[in-house]
Amino acid sequence: MSLTSLIDDSPLAAMDLPADLLERPPHAAVEITSLRMPLSSMTLSVTNFRVEAGIKVAFVGRNGAGKTSLLEVMLGLRAGSAVQGRLLGQEIEHWHKDVLLRAKVGVQLQKAALPGWLLVSEIVAFHRSLYARASEEVLSVLGIGPLLHKRYEWLSRGETQRVDLFLALAHRPQLLFLDEPLTGLDPQFARACMQLLEEMRDSTILMCCHTSEELRFASHVAWIADGRIEQYATRDALRQQLVGDHRLSIQCESDDAARRIASSLLPIYPSAKLSSVSEGRALMFGGDDLNVAARDLIDHDDVDSVEFGRSTLVDLLQHCSRNG
Amino acid sequence: MSTAFTVMVLNELKLIFRAHATLFWIFLFPFFFLAMMLFSYGTDGAIASAIVELVDEDHSERSAQYEDKVRQALLHEDALRSEVRKLEEAGRSVPEGVVRITIPAGFGSSIQHKESVAIRVVAGSGDMGAEVVTRWIRALTVLFNAEVARAQMLVTVDVQDPPRRNLSFAQYMLTGTLVMSMLAAAMSSTCVAIADRRERNTFKLMSCLPVRLADYLAAMLVSRLIVLALAAVLLVIGAVQFFDIPLVLEVPRLARTALVIALGAGMLLSLGLAMASRMASVPDAVFATNLAYIVLLFLSDLTMPLNAMPAEVKSVVAYLPTSAFVTALRGVLVEGDTLAMHKVSIAVIVAWKASFLAIAWRFFRWHRR
């Protein structure tokens, strides 16, 4: 299913919108009319994808689903792609050629590096020469100071990520493209990075996500599967739609026992879904009514423990990874 | 020049000066190579080779005797690599690299009647081989007069186009080494650096910054041009100071030399750029540039004289980029020639540069697919 548009919190409203609802306000930060890029194992294809200014979008999906490719095609970094649309109100093709427009954007890519023998201080100086400004706060929060006299090549994975994030964030861009921004970061820098991003309230952010920490920051989620945007909605609406609002975890002695008990609940609770069974644990998702089942199972002879609560962002990530 | 461009050029220069291998090949290896060659072969040797055409218009016993002496002497001359060809008549012009010796009609009867007669020597080009042959013919003729004409100088030598070139082995090596080091620095380092940036997706990152990729590439090329100029200056100064290679370092000559070096360096940078058009990895770039480097090094008469190469092949390889470059450089730096005297070589350099740039323009790709 190709994406149409998102205009409210309803996941269903994101799909198959009538044409009159596609009349859009003039200031979408990202507006892809059509995008097509043949990849080795599939064709990346997106139509009518629109992100309003200030929205934080997370791209989720299994490895190889096309998240990074989609990001790079939007940025004009892939030869052989055909894209029509606008970034910050400018034609994408025009945007690629205009350095002044590019100054409004920040980009952090997974597999892109500066020449390794540059010192971090030289990279910071280069950034300042390009933008004539660099936030001291970003420099400080990302802990760049102690790295200044190190060569870029000699930095650890996390240190390299911090320098790459500095290049993307220090000029406080209007539009940010991030590819797994927290990968390799220590917890303290991961928190600091998320705090920086949260402070950029007016900025529009599109990022490829693989962790619940990254996903927690997103207001919207685009589920990429086989080169297409399978679903696009607000994060919690999509969690409810795809996973279910609540989760029930049933721990038993064996997988067989867990599967048998979980299966017995399905006819009673039609909205419930059995997600997985492993290591004696059955995981089910469904509505609030699973609360009743949880209470009943507490005294069940074959059940060791029962956990009931709201479904999590990890559940959403796992769903999108397994089913993409 | 914008601040960002200046920063990019400075960063590129820092990268070059931090790469010890690059520094070695650009700055130290030329000195080692030059020192090694001059130590091994001396500084006074000459690069001499020639094709000698013999024309006997007399067909007498005496002319045959003279011709035989020429053949025997050339056959046993170690200092000159030569090939002797017999011509029935001297009708056509003398090609480059050829020295034509004509024994005139009446040669034998003149000696018999004790009348003076001149052997005609015409050189097709003014290179070292022609000069050695001419000098050598004069000496041989003195000997012939002593043996045959009983010390009367009946036979003389009329050199119609006296050779004027005198490129010493040391000067030959210096100019060849200079072009060789520029070839390594300009072509190899440019191509490998671009492949490295493409492999690391540096160009992708740059595409997302407010800088034109063309400016970034220009900064890479300008920094290399600066390094090439520095390497050339150091090598010339070092050659004069440490190896006593005779060079006239007057301003007009140096200005012409600088222009030729700028043109040649630009051409070699363009070659590196063209070769890098589609290189997706550093190993591919290293292989391709090493291959091109070896071919150009061996076929361009840079540091290995092309003595035994057939004249037909020589005339073709003379149009190789580095051949034209070194020919013009030797002319203006060593001989003090004007640029006009090397307009053909300069035209060849410009044509190659335009071709390389056209290839780069057509095929260059910033990113791997």
Superfamily (CATH) of domain B49-159: abc type-2 transporter like domain (3.40.1710.10)
Domain assignment present for A52: yes
Residues A234 and A249 occupy one common structural domain:
no
Å between A93 CA and nearest CA of chain B = 13
Question: Average pLDDT, whole number, for chain B?
Answer: 84
> Read out DSSP for B46-96?
B--EEEEEEEESS-SHHHHHHHHHHHHHHHT-SS-EEEEEEES---SPPPT
What digits encode the pLDDT tens for the residues B40-50? 766 655 556 77
Cα B100 to Cα B105: distance, rounded to the nearest angstrom:
15
Across B205-226, average pLDDT: 88
In chain A, which residue's Cα lies nearest the Cα of B214? A97
Q: Say which range, A100-104, A116-120, A148-152, B263-267, has the weakest mean pLDDT.
A: A100-104
Q: How far is CA A142 from CA A123, A145, A165, B237, in A?
A: 14, 9, 8, 49
Question: Which of A240, A259, A284 finishes a domain?
Answer: A240
Q: What percent of chain B has pLDDT over 70?
A: 90
Cα A158 to Cα A177: distance, rounded to the nearest angstrom:
18
Domain assignment present for A24: yes
Cα atoms found within 13 Å of the Cα of residue A271, Cβ hemisphere only:
16
At how many degrees (to 10) do helices B189-199 and B213-243 cross? 150
Contact A112, B204 (CB under 8 A): yes
Q: Which two tokens stand for residue B199?
A: 């492999």
What digits encode the pLDDT tens for the residues B80-129? 777 788 887 766 677 767 888 888 888 888 888 888 888 888 877 666 67
Cα B129 to Cα B311: distance, rounded to the nearest angstrom:
13
ipTM of this predicted structure: 0.80
3-class DSSP assignment, residue A140:
helix
Domain assignment present for A5: no
* A130 to B202: CB separation less than 8 angstroms, yes or no: no
Cα B321 to Cα B296: distance, rounded to the nearest angstrom:
8
3-class DSSP assignment, residue A56:
strand
* B8 to A96: CB separation less than 8 angstroms, yes or no: no
- CATH code assigned at A278: 3.30.70.60
Residues A170 and A98 occupy one common structural domain:
yes
Burial zone of A94 (CB within 10 Å; 0-12 exposed, 13-18 middle, 19+ buried):
exposed
Residues A196 and A291 occupy one common structural domain:
no
CA A261 to chain centre: 35
pLDDT, residue A107, reads 94
Chain A residues lying within 8 Å of B15, measured CB to CB: 115, 117-118
Residues A142 and A75 occupy one common structural domain:
yes
pLDDT band at A22, cuts 50/70/90? Answer: very low
Å between B364 CA and nearest CA of chain A = 12
Chain A residues lying within 8 Å of B204, measured CB to CB: 72, 77, 109, 112
Residues A225 and A258 occupy one common structural domain:
no
**Which ranges in chain A belong to alpha helices (H)?**
67-74, 92-97, 99-102, 120-131, 136-141, 157-169, 187-199, 212-217, 235-242, 255-265, 290-297, 313-323
Q: Is the pLDDT of residue B361 over 80?
A: yes
Q: Within 10 A of A46 (CB to CB), how many other CB atoms are there?
A: 25
Chain B residues lying within 8 Å of A80, measured CB to CB: 369
Token pair 């010390």 is found at B151
A79 in B contact zone (CB under 8 Å): yes
Residue spans per domain, chain B = 3-43+167-363, 49-159
Cα A115 to Cα A127: distance, rounded to the nearest angstrom:
14
- Chain B residues at the A interface, defined by Cβ less than 8 Å, are 3-4, 6-8, 11, 14-15, 18-19, 196-197, 200-202, 204-205, 207-212, 365, 367, 369
Domain assignment present for A95: yes
Name the residue among A80, A99, A100 with its Cβ closest to that of B369.
Answer: A80
Q: Is the pLDDT of residue A6 over 60?
A: no
Residues A206 and A292 occupy one common structural domain:
no
According to the per-residue pLDDT averaged within each range, which of A143-152, B64-73, B154-163 is highest?
A143-152
Radius of gyration of the CA atoms of chain A, in A: 22
Question: Which of A208, A240, A272 finishes a domain?
Answer: A240
Q: How far is CA B72 from CA B142, B190, B249, in A?
A: 16, 52, 42
What digits encode the pLDDT tens for the residues B19-59? 887 788 888 888 888 887 777 766 655 556 778 888 888 88
Å between B266 CA and nearest CA of chain A = 24
Domain assignment present for A3: no
* Top-confidence residue, A106 or B243: A106
Residues A161 and A37 occupy one common structural domain:
yes
Domain assignment present for A128: yes
* Count of domains observed in chain A: 2
Across B224-253, average pLDDT: 88
Å between A115 CA and nearest CA of chain B = 7
β-bridge mates for residue A236, sequence order: none
Å between B369 CA and nearest CA of chain A = 6
A109 in B contact zone (CB under 8 Å): yes
Residues A287 and A177 occupy one common structural domain:
no
Domain assignment present for A152: yes
Residues A108 and A179 occupy one common structural domain:
yes
Domain assignment present for A1: no
Residues A58 and A82 occupy one common structural domain:
yes
Q: How far is CA B327 from CA B5, B95, B166, B320, B322, in A?
A: 35, 18, 14, 11, 8
Radius of gyration of the CA atoms of chain B, in A: 26
Contact A213, A287 (CB under 8 A): no
According to the per-residue pLDDT averaged within each range, which of A131-140, A180-189, B21-30, B70-79 is highest?
A180-189
Cα B327 to Cα B321: distance, rounded to the nearest angstrom:
10
* A126 to B210: CB separation less than 8 angstroms, yes or no: no
* Residues of the domain holding A194: 12-240
Cα B345 to Cα B225: distance, rounded to the nearest angstrom:
21
pLDDT band at B308, cuts 50/70/90? Answer: low
pLDDT, residue A3, reads 36
Residues A270 and A175 occupy one common structural domain:
no
Pair type for strands B98-103 and B49-56: parallel
Closest CA to B263 of B172, B155, B342: B342
Contact B188, B272 (CB under 8 A): yes
Name the residue among B4, B15, B205 with its Cβ closest to that of A112.
Answer: B205
Cα B352 to Cα B331: distance, rounded to the nearest angstrom:
19
Q: Which two tokens stand for residue A264?
A: 């017995």
Best mutation site among A126, A127, A152 for testing chain B: the one with the most B CBs within 10 Å? A126
Q: Which two tokens stand for residue A282?
A: 């059955």
Residues A256 and A125 occupy one common structural domain:
no
* B205 to A114: CB separation less than 8 angstroms, yes or no: yes
Name the residue among B14, B200, B211 with its Cβ closest to that of A130.
Answer: B211
Contact A86, A28 (CB under 8 A): yes
Contact A15, A1 (CB under 8 A): yes
- CATH code assigned at A131: 3.40.50.300
Burial zone of A33 (CB within 10 Å; 0-12 exposed, 13-18 middle, 19+ buried):
middle
A39 in B contact zone (CB under 8 Å): no
Chain A residues lying within 8 Å of B209, measured CB to CB: 102, 130, 167
A111 in B contact zone (CB under 8 Å): yes
Residue A160, by phi and psi: left (phi above 0), alpha (psi -120 to 50) or beta? alpha
Closest CA to A149 of A114, A122, A111, A110: A122
What digits encode the pLDDT tens for the residues B144-190? 888 876 667 788 888 876 545 567 788 888 999 999 989 988 888 89
pLDDT, residue B161, reads 60
Q: Is the pLDDT of residue A133 over 50?
A: yes
* A107 to B367: CB separation less than 8 angstroms, yes or no: no
Q: Is the pLDDT of residue A188 over 80?
A: yes
The DSSP output letter for B211 is S
What digits encode the pLDDT tens for the residues A107-124? 999 888 888 889 999 999
Cα A269 to Cα A264: distance, rounded to the nearest angstrom:
9
pTM (2 decimals)? Answer: 0.73
